[in-house]
Amino acid sequence: MTAPAAPAALPPTGLPGLDPAWSRLVAVPGAGADAGLTRTWHVLDTGAELERLGATPAGTILAVHGNPTWSYLWRSMLAASVAAAAAGEPAWRVIAVDQLEMGYSERTGRHRPLAQRVADLSGLTDALGIEGAVVTLGHDWGGVVSLGWAVDHPQLLAGVALLNTAIHHPDGVPVPAPLRLAGARGVLAASTVATTAFLDTTLALASPPLPAEVKDAYRAPYGSADRRGGIGGFVADIPADASHESRPELDRIAAGVAGLEVPALMLWGPKDPIFSDRYLDDLVDRLPHADVHRFEGANHLIAEERPYAEAILQWLDTTPSARRVGAEGAVSRREGQVSIRRPAGDYSTNGVVVDDHSTNGAEAFRPLWTGLDARATDDDVAVIDMATKRGPARRVTWRQLHDRVLDLAAGLAELGVQRGDRVSLLVKPGPTLTAVIYACLRIGAVVVVADAGLGVKGLTRAVRGAWPDVIIGERLGLTAARALGWPGMRISAERLPYAAKAALDVSHSLGQVAALGAAIRSSGEAPPPEPGPADEAAILFTSGSTGPAKGVVYRHGQLSALRDVLARHLEITPETGLVTGFAPFALLGPALGTRSATPDMDVSAPRTLTATAVAAAVRESDAGIVFLSPAAVLNVVATADALGADERAALARVHTFLSTGAPIGEALLASAAEVMPNATPHTPYGMTECLLVTDVTLEGIRAAASAPDAGVCVGRPIGDNRVLVSALDADGRATGAPSAEPGVLGEIVIAAGHLKDHYDRLWLTDRMAARETEALVDADAPRWHRTGDLGHLDAEGRVWIEGRTQHVIVAADGPIAPVGPEQDAESVDGVRRAGVVGVGPHGLRQAVAVVETIPPVARPGLAEPELAAAVRERSRVPLAAVLAVPQLPTDIRHNSKIDRSRLSDWAERVLAGEKPSAP
């Protein structure tokens, strides 16, 4: 469906962001069905401007738009190219084309299927005489066309960059609904050619909305029906099924892309209703070495919504002129460092340098399941699940667990799960989850763990972002997966009735998988090769308390390093025994070779854990160590009066207690010590990105109490871990060179052998972090991580946490950290907890204390005058107001970190005169 023939033209002047000097028309000998003819293209080209500036291009970016846009889509890329050259930085020539029938290129009046469009683009680049390194850049169906060119020009190709696009659609799955509607008989012409409906709908997809003048610029070349034939032609050419004329060409391109070894970058808008994460996952499967960044909240027109041009130039800068990699392998960049995908047995990850035989002084790599294998014939108890509503505690021996792991591993492999496949686990901590995780790890599958504490919206964002190949879940999780359209083959934790199995689209139960695996093992079939230390092992999601939850990728070497650090620090032996009310550590018992027990609680709601439940788990497991989250500790202390004599005796046998997940103060730790009177209380400091950084005991906190330091003391770095501080400037930003100088308020920066590898599909986030810390890289240190935590070091090398960097109150006299003033308020009688936040304009913000009282106030608002006066008197900073609430808002996972951003917004509204309601 094309328009009548019409000549090419130059765009009108005055289009926002478009320099007329970039525009030119190019006469191109026709290709394919156009052989013997000449076609005229409109292109935007920075070549002349770079020449005027005296800049020698590092190469050429060949940018191809999709439907129904035109080369105007790439104006930011062209502007960034010129700006880089003007600044004396490496510059890339950008050539952005208007495909024939589109934009201001010629309307030929001919049907142009995909193969013809790929041939057209090749003809254009031949006419332009492009030489040297070429990086293709495509969006929408321009992505397909650009990849077709890439596959056909290996001698020129230096890299590929993509914004939302697709090169494959699975058989039997309908194309996205908007395309089905636009392409329907009787609708196609009306929606794409006769009217501007398709164009207007596409422009409306931008988030945030496009300015009116930018929308007008996109509409400019499509002002009449005879100019919109190409829009309809593109929609008609979507190869929705195997019978479509363009399907063979699409399949050819898809197969060719899988063979590309050049650097690749994918920038994605996950809200795109057309090119969803399904298509991103397919591209990642074909280009596993690609760098990927998902811009959370971005939609289809990602070039209008996010700083894609800056990201591409950064990527080119970190991908040595995007030179093609030869036989050594494909380039992959993580946090600014280059690693080559090597054969098994030669790895360097995050400072843990290991190979299959020799470590050059580093500790030899031992897989996480080594401890489980060592007790394969042991009939002692390995895992105890107290959180069962079906009767007494469930006890699983080492032999049973080991056999179950091997059966599940063999069964999953038989079902097609292989190394690198992602398996999302929607199973509560306990023996089932433990067995599934170790089974996945043994065959190299990557476990995806996002707990229910994220809420339905957050969990959906996390699971869809990771785009798992398999979902293993209990009925509730599988119901959510079905209702919310989560991807992946579905396996149920329990055996389901036929109707439920069909309704939830479940293929197998874990019991069936294990039975299949047992049969495979009994046949003597060799198991799949085990993964190595550099293979990805797990994706753990952050709490989402400071923004959308991020997937944190750990490799096998890092998980093993974490196990070793924990074992050494706590001196764990096979007889130690663990009670784990904190999910991340509930899975380490088998790795540590010691039994573990999960207490009776809802792990997604830590406040459901009681002192009685902890005592029961300790008694069942004879555990010497108890792990709890801060929110769980609060409720354990609050319910301690219900303990009987036998339960108190069981808790008296505990020798080590740890509160992990967020720093807690001396008072709460001391209260927990009263519940477990013979235990040494610890409060390790860590985060999803590095679960153990520092540690401090109650005795250590009390020893530090004599110091005048503000914040929560979390002790000294564990083992070989390193901690530095990047000082805040007057604007409240951490800009100082990280150092160990005592007393400097700033952002905590850490290094550790078990530090995460990277964030999943957040290349730009990793890259920005790397740029901020690259001055720290030295021959003796692994990579560094900016934690976002605010604090300082004291003269004894202890770390003090004073909040989060985004919660700094930038007042007229300089930045204020919130935790110190919060501690002042909490020292007042009648105050249970406090949050100190800023109100007013940046640089002139005023501190406000919001307190949770004992007993709770009936309604939120200004605190009683006597309480307000007492809080002000104790405060080390001036307070503009003191407010009281029945309960402070906290993060959704730990229920312990105060949501200061939300509290600040609430305080602003209340002090502006709004009727106070709960924050």
Among the listed ranges 1-5, 695-699, 752-756, which one has the minimum average pLDDT value?
Answer: 1-5
User: Which is higher by pLDDT, 918 or 604?
Assistant: 918
- The pLDDT confidence band at residue 344, using thresholds 50, 70 and 90, is very low
CA distance 15 to 652: 76
* Residues in the chain, overall count: 919
* Residue found under tokens 């509160």: 659
pLDDT score of 569:
92
Residue type at position 61: I
Identify the band that residue 17 occupies on the pLDDT scale cut at 50, 70 and 90: very high
Res 588: pLDDT: 84
Q: Please report which confidence band the pLDDT of residue 477 belongs to, taking 50, 70 and 90 as the band edges.
A: confident
Q: How far apart are CA 442 and CA 648, in angstroms?
A: 40
Average pLDDT over residues 37-46: 97
- Are the C-beta atoms of 450 and 404 separated by less than 8 Å? no
Please state which of the ranges 102-116, 180-194, 325-339, 718-732 shows the lowest mean pLDDT.
325-339
Q: What is the pLDDT of residues 101-111, one digit of tens each?
A: 999 999 999 99
Q: What is the mean pLDDT of residues 671-700?
A: 92
For a pLDDT cut of 90, what percent of the chain falls above it? 70
d(CA 773, CA 427): 37
- Domains of the chain: residue spans and CATH: 20-325 (3.40.50.1820), 370-604 (3.40.50.12780), 698-754+765-804 (2.30.38.10), 808-911 (3.30.300.30)
Torsion angle, alpha carbons of 184, 188, 190, 192, to 10: 140
- At 334 the pLDDT is 30
pLDDT of residue 780: 53
Question: pLDDT band at 583, cuts 50/70/90?
Answer: low
| pLDDT for residue 172 | 62
Asked if residue 417 lies in contact with residue 443, where contact means CB atoms within 8 angstroms, the answer is yes
pLDDT in tens, 65-87: 999 999 999 999 999 999 999 99
**pLDDT range class, residue 357, cuts 50, 70, 90:** very low
In tens, the pLDDT along 263-289 reads 999 999 999 999 989 899 999 999 999
Query: How confident is the model at residue 919, as a pLDDT?
Result: 83
Report the range of poorest mean pLDDT among 195-199, 435-439, 607-611, 638-642: 607-611
Residue 302: per-residue pLDDT: 96
pTM: 0.86
**C-beta of residue 402 within 8 angstroms of C-beta of residue 396:** no
Mean pLDDT of 209-220: 97
pLDDT of residue 182: 55
pLDDT at position 775, please?
59
pLDDT score of 590 more than 60: yes
Q: Residue 598 pLDDT > 80, yes or no? A: yes
Q: What is the pLDDT of residue 360?
A: 35
Tokens representing 387 are 């959180």
Label residue 180 by pLDDT band (50, 70, 90): low
Buried-state track 412-451, b at ≥16 Cβ within 10 A, e below 16: bbebebebebbbbbbbbbbbbbbbbbbbbbbbbbbbbbbb
Residue 656 has pLDDT above 70, yes or no: yes
Per-residue pLDDT at 456? 74
Q: What is the predicted pLDDT for the residue at 185?
A: 60
Q: Is 645 exposed, middle or buried (0-12, 13-18, 19+ CB in 10 A)?
A: exposed
pLDDT at position 577 is: 93
Beta strands 489-492 and 470-473: pairing type? parallel
Average pLDDT, the chain: 88
Q: What is the mean pLDDT of residues 408-429?
A: 93
| 148, pLDDT greater than 60 | yes
Average pLDDT score over residue span 461-485: 88
Q: What is the DSSP string of 528-559?
A: PPPP-TTSEEEEEE--STTSS--EEEEEHHHH
pLDDT in tens, 518-566: 999 999 998 999 999 999 999 998 876 666 888 999 999 999 999 999 9
779 — pLDDT class (breaks 50, 70, 90): very low
Cα torsion through 622, 628, 632, 634, rounded to 10: 100
- What local confidence, expressed as pLDDT, does residue 767 receive? 87
Residue 392 CB-density burial (10 A; 0-12 exposed, 13-18 middle, 19+ buried): exposed
Query: What pLDDT does residue 771 have?
Result: 72
CB 730 within 8 A of CB 720: no
**In this predicted structure, what is the pLDDT of residue 268?**
97
Q: Is the pLDDT of residue 115 over 70?
A: yes
What Rg, from alpha-carbon coordinates, does the chain have? 30
Confidence tier at 481 by pLDDT (50, 70, 90): confident
Q: Confidence band (pLDDT; 50, 70, 90) for 338? A: very low
**pLDDT greater than 80 at residue 323:** no
Residue 54's pLDDT band (boundaries 50, 70, 90)? very high
Confidence band of 465 (pLDDT split at 50, 70, 90): confident
